[in-house]
Amino acid sequence: MEPVKVGLLGLGTVGGGTVSVLARNGAEIARRAGRGIKIVQASARDLKKSRRCDTTGIKLTADPFAIVNNPEIQIVVELIGGDSLARELVMQAIQNGKHVVTANKALIAKHGNEIFAAARAKGVMVAFEAAVAGGIPIIKTIREGLAGNQIQWLAGIINGTGNFILTEMRDKGRDFGDVLAEAQALGYAEADPTFDVEGIDAAHKLTILASIAFGIPLQFSKVYTEGITRITREDVSNAEELGYRIKHLGIARRTATGIELRVHPTLIPHRRLIANVDGVMNAVLVKGDAVGPTLFYGAGAGAEPTASAVVADLVDVTRTLTTDPENRVPHLAFQADALTDVPILSMDEVETAYYLRMQALDQPGVLADVTRVLADLQISIEAIIQKESPDEDGDSTASIIMLTHRVRERAMKQAIERIQALPAITGDVVRIRMEQLSSKQ
């Protein structure tokens, strides 16, 4: 049987890794897929640039549309990133009756509903395993391996840059800005690190995970997103002292009133396995009603880890080239006409526990005033630590650290406003949410 002919859009890090993995493991891949998979054409912006992969036998072009319009190509692999040109190319490929494999989380999170509708109309597949958590096969796991479960919640460390920064801050007592500069020097963070440190990259990925977990349309605009730029080494140290670690989590939870979709720094107990995922590694914790909590760990980025997922998608698409489109695994796990538009909760309606840190003048009655505010709003306190620290003017102040029980965000916002208005409180109250991530939740 003739090999499947593939066109590759982008010969950067992941594109080069894909070429290398297919070349090295071609025979093994053909045994799995039932026929060979061959990249016959690839596009790159600079054709003279030296490559990390051997492109012998691959026709190179600077025009990506030459690939999506090539009648010989059966599968188009989109690895150029962004969501404007990539969307145009993917939609053109679909209109030409070609299957698509992509690693583009922004494209799927923002335009996936439109793309999948077009693909269903043309009877083609769009595979996107590499769009979330690099080499971890989390899409296939939730969509197929856990298909017998009602997914109750999931929580993921799904951005390696943020995880590297928080790990370095904890292990070496370093400041955020110092570690960010190192992450940029090492190539973990872009020159403009906004997508990573502000949680936008993780929100793209959480959008996709939530859709396949709960059978809802992709709704990136409704994800609450909060970054890690305000996390201090003091907060990281306090969390450790209290038996917690701070991780930048993407959390999706099914509740009786709707779906929670949120990305933010989170204190989690240090004994949880996911709390011990360090450096640039990723992990996703999924709770199903039948299977219980399951943890998936691995490289979230990199040339060959991500290429591993791209090639796995190529194998899947190759296997289904001759199958009835109506009997393929649905793009978003649930049949297209079975997706439900469950409400996405606003952050004010989310219920979680909190870590609070405030600076107060060291005078009688301050702690009583703070606890009275919390009591008035029916917020219970789990733990309190008070640390003396002279301020810049030599006056005696105290750092008050509190852990609360679970409460709605709206009530906590009101409490923080009232606490900050107290005469003895100096500066803003620092608030970080807490999750237990236990099997009982």
In total, the chain counts a number of residues equal to 441
CB atoms within 10 A of CB 42: 27
What's the pLDDT score for residue 335?
Answer: 85
What's the pLDDT score for residue 390?
Answer: 59
What's the pLDDT score for residue 331?
Answer: 86
Give, in words, the CATH class of 351-434. Answer: alpha beta
CB atoms within 10 A of CB 390: 10
Say which residues have a Cβ less than 8 Å from residue 365's Cβ, sequence separation at least 6: none
CATH 3.40.50.720 residue spans of the chain: 4-135+303-337
Question: 98, 110, 205, 247: which is the annotated catalytic residue?
Answer: 205
C-beta of residue 400 within 8 angstroms of C-beta of residue 358: yes
CATH 3.30.70.260 residue spans of the chain: 351-434
State how far the Cα of 56 lies from the Cα of 38, in Å rounded to an integer. Answer: 12
State how far the Cα of 246 lies from the Cα of 226, in Å rounded to an integer. Answer: 14
CATH 3.30.360.10 residue spans of the chain: 138-299
C-beta of residue 75 within 8 angstroms of C-beta of residue 317: yes
pTM above 0.75, yes or no: yes
What's the pLDDT score for residue 394?
Answer: 58
What's the pLDDT score for residue 58?
Answer: 96
Partners of 151 in the β-ladder: 288
Q: Is 205 a catalytic residue?
A: yes
CA 372 remoteness from chain centre: 38
State how far the Cα of 64 lies from the Cα of 56, in Å rounded to an integer. Answer: 19
What's the pLDDT score for residue 324?
Answer: 76
Domain 4-135+303-337 has CATH 3.40.50.720: yes
C-beta of residue 207 within 8 angstroms of C-beta of residue 219: yes
CA 287 remoteness from chain centre: 17
SS3 per residue for the chain = CCCEEEEEECCCHHHHHHHHHHHHCHHHHHHHHCCCEEEEEEECCCCCCCCCCCCCCCEEECCHHHHHCCCCCCEEEECCCCCCHHHHHHHHHHHCCCEEEECCHHHHHHHHHHHHHHHHHHCCCEECHHHCCCCCCHHHHHHHHCCCCCEEEEEEECCHHHHHHHHHHHHHCCCHHHHHHHHHHCCCCCCCCHHHHCCHHHHHHHHHHHHHHHCCCCCHHHCEECCCCCCCHHHHHHHHHCCEEEEEEEEEEECCCCEEEEEEEEEEECCCHHHHCCCCEEEEEEEECCCEEEEEEEECCCHHHHHHHHHHHHHHHHHCCCCCHHHCCCCCCCCHHHCCCCCECCHHHCEEEEEEEEEEECCCCHHHHHHHHHHHCCCCEEEEEEEEEECCCCCEEEEEEEEECCEEHHHHHHHHHHHHCCCCEEEEEEEEEECCCCCCC
What's the pLDDT score for residue 333?
Answer: 84
C-beta of residue 19 within 8 angstroms of C-beta of residue 58: yes
**Residuewise pLDDT in 10s, the chain (441 residues):** 899 999 999 999 999 999 999 999 999 999 999 999 999 999 999 998 888 899 999 999 999 999 999 999 999 999 999 999 999 999 999 999 999 999 999 999 999 999 999 999 999 999 999 999 999 999 999 999 999 999 999 999 999 999 999 999 999 999 999 999 999 998 898 889 999 999 999 999 999 999 999 999 999 999 999 999 999 999 999 999 999 999 999 999 999 999 999 999 999 999 999 999 999 999 999 999 999 999 999 999 899 999 999 999 999 999 988 777 777 888 888 888 889 989 999 999 999 999 999 999 988 899 999 999 999 999 999 999 998 875 555 568 899 999 999 999 999 999 999 999 999 999 999 999 999 998 777
C-beta of residue 343 within 8 angstroms of C-beta of residue 259: yes
Give CATH for domain 138-299. 3.30.360.10
